[in-house]
Structure 1
Amino acid sequence: MRRTTALRAALSAALLLGGLAGASALPASATDSPAHRTQAPASGALLSAMQRDLGLTKRQAETRLAAEKTATAVEREAKRVAGSAYGGSWFDAARGRLTVALTRGANADAVRATGADVRLVKYSARQLDAAKSRIDALSAPAGISNWYVDPKAGSVVVDVVSAHRDDNDVRAFLTRARKAGPVTVRQTSHAPSTLAAGTVGGDPFYTGNVRCSIGFSVYGGFVTAGHCDQHTGAVYGWDGSYVGNFQGSSFPDNDYAWVNVGSGWWTVPVVLGWGTVSDQLVRGSAEAPVGASICRSGSTSHWHCGTVLAKNETVNYSQGAVHEMTKTSVCAEPGDSGGSFISGDQAQGVTSGGWGDCTSGGETWYQPVNEILNRYGLTLHTA
């Protein structure tokens, strides 16, 4: 639905070109303002969305946001103190604290002094990342959904589509994967897919026969999903006017792109709340830990929240594997690709793909925004 006031209409144009609502085709230095210094008090609407999607009371939502802000700051320092013994970390929502995995006890007291809990594990994050990289080099059959490093499990988790678990090519892949390092195999009933959709009405941008939405404003343009680039050149806004052109994109392998802005369009550091929450200011891009709450803005399903489930995950789309993705419990639908993932007021990434919908639920992956900023030498537009 189009905004009704003149102010909202003007803001809509700015938002669309500055980095907010979701998208519809799936698959410079990064500004990284510390969340503990920049995050503003949560709005009542944001708290309401968290209550709806995470099953929290208002007080629980406020408490969780405060704990996550602390955990984001603690994670950086704890990782530095842990050094080569670092085995990964995650936010424990039940306890409201960050847990850090360590391969030996020598640094445990120093890590605890940062405010984190400690769990001793066999493998370091470097060892697990190396094992995942070796698996990344393999050719995965369609029956393999995705794989990622799980610090809690202390291994690389490989998800297999249940209907294909006995396929010969799946078994052969798992045999090779186990030779790469510690592997845990899990089953899923869903295969991932990009969130592509044909041209439809809404508040999107268009390119070729695809509708997508903006992720975040950067100086000179906006970032979005790479699979949105149909290599047709021009990008058009929700009103059909010319916006700019894709200046760079990558898909598969990655799923990111950026578009320049001109012809009367401009950028603003805002993510559209679609009336569910107030439009959200973007104040930085401090990376939230695993277990933290996160919300997504998309032009089809609008505003939904969930939690960060895993990082550095490889997703095996039909078009090819995409690496270094972050998995969330947030739902999404066709038309949401390229849209904003945000935690508090910190930009997290652009919507790539997933499974399920916002009626029955599902999981969605995003490409981290700092990787996109660094790749193209862009600077996030912040408030």
Structure 2
Amino acid sequence: MTNRPTSAARLTLAGTAAATLAATAVLLPGTGAATAAPAQVAHQARAAATLAARLGNRAAGSYYDAASRRLVVDITDASAAPQVRATGAVPKVVHYSTPQLRTAVADLAKQARIAGTAWAIDPRQDKVVVTADPTVTGAKRTRLDAAVEALGGRAVLRHTASPFKLKIAGGDAIWGSSVRCSLGFNVTVNGAPYFLTAGHCGNASSTWSDTQDGSEVGQTVDSQFPGTDYALVQYDDSGSSPASEVDLYDGSTQQITGAADAYVGESVQRSGSTSGLHGGSVTGLDATVNYSEGSVSGLIDTSVCAEAGDSGGALFDGSSAIGLTSGGSGDCSSGGETFFQPVTAALSAEGATIP
């Protein structure tokens, strides 16, 4: 664990979240030598995603290409290219539409919901990327191979070196009766103070402390897992006003002013009570992970690492809350893949707001 803040500081944080996205200039499509802040890139990326959704079977998603510093919208009909260019994005003609790829996802949900597997649509490849961990062997592997093969070119199978696991452990950070997790974001519900963490954490404990065997600071009032993965914890002190900040694990904090949906190619960062601060990018949306404890859908797939105890910790981009750490494979020594519960979905379901 890195530079753990004091317990008093822990309760003023918006989570064990990550550092601000560096405000490096980026070239936007159609701007020539002009530059824009990451917030503008995010705005245009979401506008491109809205257009892709509106185009229906004439499109197949959108993403930010960090290498060329351009936003891309996949289209299956070249006549849609002018509409794409009008948003400032670059059109790319691909074979499979969003509805076709979503049908592939639905088929996988029926035929291959096997513990140790995951899948998400990757617009950069115009495919559903299916992942199997080392536990998928024998009859399970045969079943998965058949399901992927039946999808033809709509899907590709890859393998991860370590099993998919929920990032929960006994130890540090926010402590439950027999587990520890990481606080995500401080929120309010009808003016009262709460915080968000992972649902599998909320399932594991009804009360929480900021120190091991310490005094109770909050109670789990709602917990959703499997299916989704978020929990709402109410602070015992109804008069407290926890700050909307995140711990950067270097003695400083980052203010969080709101929540936003992720987009493929987005640079994000995460921090948790075990591994501290780490970054990466969004590689897929609406991902499904089949943990041994149950399946979760609608997740954000990323190249960010995480370790046991980081569950519930916050994923964010600058001042925007993005996700809550769910689980994944690998670690922060060898690298890994981590899935996150979208914060916007949790806020909507709970009637909560970022302070």
Range class of TM-score, shorter chain? 0.7 to 0.9
CA distance in 1, matches of 2:206, 2:134: 40
Matches within 5 A, 1:219-258: 219=188, 220-230=193-203, 232-238=205-211, 240-258=214-232
Counterpart for residue 75 of structure 1: 45
TM-superposition CA deviations, 1:193-245 (whole Å, max 9, x none)? 111211x24xx222120111111111030111011024542222237222221
CA distance in 2, matches of 1:68, 1:46: 11
CA distance in 2, matches of 1:273, 1:192: 26
Q: 1:349 Cα deviation (Å)?
A: 0.4
Counterpart for residue 277 of structure 2: 303
1:62 counterpart = 2:27: no
Letter in 2 for 1:372: A
Q: 1:369 Cα deviation (Å)?
A: 0.4
From the two aligned structures, give the one with the greater helix fraction: 1
Matches within 5 A, 1:16-35: 19-21=14-16
CA distance in 1, matches of 2:99, 2:185: 30
CA distance in 2, matches of 1:304, 1:79: 26
Task: From 116, 130, 135, give the equivalent of 2:89.
Answer: 116
- RCO (CA 8 Å, sep 6+): is it higher in 1 or 2? 1
Task: From 225, 234, 242, give the equivalent of 1:267.
Answer: 242
CA distance in 2, matches of 1:294, 1:101: 23
> Is the CA contact (8 Å cut-off) linking 2:203 and 2:223 kept in structure 1?
no
Counterpart for residue 58 of structure 1: none
CA distance in 2, matches of 1:260, 1:205: 13
Q: 1:64 Cα deviation (Å)?
A: 4.6
Counterpart for residue 32 of structure 2: none
Counterpart for residue 193 of structure 1: 165
Return structure 1 stretches of 4+ with deviation > 3 angstroms.
Answer: 1-4, 9-12, 64-68, 79-82, 161-165, 176-181
> Is the CA contact (8 Å cut-off) linking 2:148 and 2:156 kept in structure 1?
no
CA distance in 2, matches of 1:311, 1:283: 23
Q: CA, structure 1 residues 163+336, in 2 after alignment: closer, same or farther (shift >3 Å)?
A: closer
Q: 1:326 Cα deviation (Å)?
A: 1.1
> Is the CA contact (8 Å cut-off) linking 1:13 and 1:265 kept in structure 2?
no
1:292 counterpart = 2:266: yes
Q: CA, structure 1 residues 330+231, in 2 after alignment: closer, same or farther (shift >3 Å)?
A: closer
**Secondary structure at the residue paired with 1:173?**
helix
CA distance in 2, matches of 1:137, 1:377: 32
Matches within 5 A, 1:1-383: 1=3, 3=5, 10-15=8-13, 19-21=14-16, 46=20, 62-64=24-26, 66=36, 68-82=38-52, 83=54, 84=56, 85-138=58-111, 140-142=113-115, 144-161=116-133, 164=136, 167-179=138-150, 182-198=154-170, 200-201=171-172, 204-219=173-188, 220-230=193-203, 232-238=205-211, 240-263=214-237, 265-275=240-250, 278-381=252-355
Letter in 2 for 1:186: R
- Runs of 5+ in structure 2 lacking a partner? 28-35
Q: 1:352 Cα deviation (Å)?
A: 0.8
**Secondary structure at the residue paired with 1:229?**
helix
TM-superposition CA deviations, 1:165-203 (whole Å, max 9, x none)? 6x23322233235546722222222221111211x24xx
Q: 1:10 Cα deviation (Å)?
A: 4.9
Letter in 2 for 1:262: D
TM-superposition CA deviations, 1:329-363 (whole Å, max 9, x none)? 22211111100101111110001112222222212
Q: 1:106 Cα deviation (Å)?
A: 2.1
> Is the CA contact (8 Å cut-off) linking 1:20 and 1:214 kept in structure 2?
yes
**Secondary structure at the residue paired with 2:119?**
strand
Scaled by the length of structure 1, the TM-score of the pair is 0.80
From the two aligned structures, give the one with the greater strand fraction: 2
Letter in 1 for 2:245: V
CA distance in 1, matches of 2:11, 2:230: 22
Q: 1:303 Cα deviation (Å)?
A: 1.1
Q: CA, structure 1 residues 183+46, in 2 after alignment: closer, same or farther (shift >3 Å)?
A: closer
Aligned positions, number: 334
TM-superposition CA deviations, 1:101-143 (whole Å, max 9, x none)? 112122211211211111112222233223213322345334x
CA distance in 2, matches of 1:272, 1:129: 37
Scaled by the length of structure 2, the TM-score of the pair is 0.85
CA RMSD of aligned residues (A): 2.5
> Is the CA contact (8 Å cut-off) linking 2:135 and 2:163 kept in structure 1?
no
> Is the CA contact (8 Å cut-off) linking 1:221 and 1:260 kept in structure 2?
yes
Q: CA, structure 1 residues 180+378, in 2 after alignment: closer, same or farther (shift >3 Å)?
A: farther
> Is the CA contact (8 Å cut-off) linking 2:179 and 2:204 kept in structure 1?
no
**Secondary structure at the residue paired with 2:322?**
strand
Q: 1:80 Cα deviation (Å)?
A: 3.6
TM-superposition CA deviations, 1:248-286 (whole Å, max 9, x none)? 11112211111111226432211111116x301112222
**Secondary structure at the residue paired with 1:290?**
coil
